[in-house]
């Protein structure tokens, strides 16, 4: 559920920034068209929200004016759970959770599951997030989505690549033998997987066992 919380924090931060940005623009326009300081103060006062509801309306308008919006309705987390079945890649699901949350007209859905390999005792955590195509939601959970990364040293590596045609991000830590793999599907879904005491190839095998193309087409 940390992904949901972080998304909402980012959403509120962007909304606050947009509100301030629009407020600054309005003030500059008032200063240009009005030389009388008292008139400026009166106009600013008239434009100021008098309650929380009005403040939220102004923020939403600012986001709309800045062309920051959600392209579609995220699917419910119960639909996302269908891609995290009781058994996957020969492993049994030992834990699952899901949530659909929203704020100020924006929503996000999240489904998580933990799988255990009985033969080795290793666990794999898989997380699916549907942002509904909200660009800020993508950036809050996958800042690498617009970057090209290829870094390696004695501690491990980080790189962006492609997995089954989808842009991916890999991170491997040698000290903890921890692998992390994330994908962006159809500019709205963020799929994340991680495991400890396992190589990246093992994690890729688990992720590739999922129907990624079907997930990317989910509406």
Residue 150 scores a pLDDT above 50:
yes
Q: Token pair for residue 193?
A: 């997987």
Q: Where are the domains of the chain?
A: 2-65, 77-216
Please indicate, yes or no, whether the overall pTM of this predicted structure exceeds 0.85.
no
Contact call for residues 70 and 108 (beta carbons, < 8 A): no
Phi, psi of 40 (to 5 degrees): -60, -45
Which residues is 104 bridged to in the sheet? none
Q: How confident is the prediction for the chain on average, in pLDDT?
A: 78
Confidence band of 132 (pLDDT split at 50, 70, 90): confident
Q: Which pLDDT does position 219 carry in this prediction?
A: 84
Enumerate residues 6+ apart whose C-beta is below 8 A from 115. 88, 89, 91, 92, 93, 94, 123, 124, 125, 126, 206
How far is 59 from 14, CA to CA, in rounded Å?
Answer: 9
Q: pLDDT (tens digit, 9 = 90+) per residue, 68-115?
A: 555 678 999 999 999 999 999 999 999 999 999 876 667 889 999 999
Residue 211 scores a pLDDT above 90:
yes
Confidence band of 9 (pLDDT split at 50, 70, 90): low
Beta strands in the chain (DSSP E): 87-88, 91-103, 106-116, 123-130, 150-153, 156-163, 166-173, 178-185, 189-196
Residue 165: burial class (beta carbons within 10 Å; 0-12, 13-18, 19+): exposed
Residue 54 scores a pLDDT above 90:
no
**Better-scored residue on pLDDT, 137 or 73:** 73
């Amino acid at each position: 559920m940390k992904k949901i919380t972080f998304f909402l924090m980012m959403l509120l931060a962007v909304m606050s920034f947009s509100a301030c940005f629009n407020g600054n623009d309005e003030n500059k326009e008032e200063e240009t068209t009005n030389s009388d300081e008292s008139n400026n103060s009166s106009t600013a006062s008239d434009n100021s929200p008098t309650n929380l509801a009005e403040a939220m309306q102004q923020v939403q308008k600012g986001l709309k004016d800045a062309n920051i919006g959600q392209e579609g309705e995220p699917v419910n987390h119960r639909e996302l759970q269908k891609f995290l079945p009781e058994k996957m890649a020969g492993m049994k699901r030992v834990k699952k959770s899901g949530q659909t949350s929203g704020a100020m007209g924006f929503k996000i859905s999240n489904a998580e599951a933990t799988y255990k390999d009985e033969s080795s005792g290793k666990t794999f955590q898989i997380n699916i997030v549907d942002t509904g195509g909200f660009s800020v939601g993508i950036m809050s959970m996958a800042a690498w989505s617009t970057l090209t990364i290829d870094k390696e040293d004695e501690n491990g590596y980080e790189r962006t690549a492609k997995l089954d045609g989808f842009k991916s991000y890999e991170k491997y830590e040698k000290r903890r033998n921890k692998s992390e793999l994330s994908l962006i599907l159809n500019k709205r879904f963020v799929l994340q997987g991680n495991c400890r005491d396992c190589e990246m190839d093992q994690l890729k095998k688990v992720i590739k066992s999922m129907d990624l193309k079907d997930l990317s087409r989910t509406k």
